[in-house]
Amino acid sequence: MGYLLPTEYVQYGLTAETTDDWVTMASALMESYCRRPSLLVTQYVERMRLTDGAQTVRLSYRPLAAAVGAASALVGVRVRFARPRRGELPDLFHEEIARAFSVPGSWSVLDVTTVDVNQTTAELTFPRNFLGIDYNEVAVTYTSGLVTVPDAVKVACVQIVKNAQATPAMNVKSSKMDTMQMQYFSGSLIDPQVQLLLKPYVAERLG
């Protein structure tokens, strides 16, 4: 989808003759740069290991936003006390307690209302379970993205279009953008100004 409406082209600095394929191309490049399928509200599932001694994780996609009709960005949370992986030092005391209750490796559904959510940093803090054992693996289903497209994203979209139109090899007169061509020039089209505008929406911890 395009993050700029045709009625907004002139308002944000594009010419009235700008065709929709330029904006569609720019929007796709922004999604690729931010490493997410859409900048709008989308549901994600992340499975993460918790640091030993800590009960917090930071989600990869921000800003957190509840889907339409939902009360929270958190859709579901599953937790477990998993067996230590190779290279991890096992906590023998807690592992024996967990084994006595058949906990190791089994997933439990956690009430999302018991999870503390920092909306600004997308950091989650989990409660300790009734055994007093810290979880070491979680699977979180949540929603993140823009409810409405802010000016910064629209300006970034316009700047990419202008950068593309100023690149001779992009062939301004062509009626259709080639995907491979678009990706080839992405490094120059997404300039430092665009990168700064999109910084809050770039996914973290994904490479």
Residues of the chain with pLDDT under 50: 87, 89, 100-102, 172-175, 207
- The pLDDT score that the predictor gives to residue 167 is 77
- The pLDDT score that the predictor gives to residue 118 is 92
- The pLDDT score that the predictor gives to residue 95 is 54
- The pLDDT score that the predictor gives to residue 129 is 64
Going from N- to C-terminal start, the domains of the chain cover 6-38+148-201, 42-144
- Whether the CB-CB separation of 188 and 162 falls below 8 Å is answered with no
Burial 164-194 (b: 16+ CB within 10 A, else e): beeeeebeeeeeebeeebbeeeeeebbeeeb
- The pLDDT score that the predictor gives to residue 179 is 57
Write down the pTM of the prediction.
0.79
3-state secondary structure string across 54-89: CCEEECCCCCECCCCCCCCCEEEEEEECCCCCCCCC
**What whole-number distance in Å separates Cα of residue 1 and Cα of residue 21?**
10
- The pLDDT score that the predictor gives to residue 89 is 47
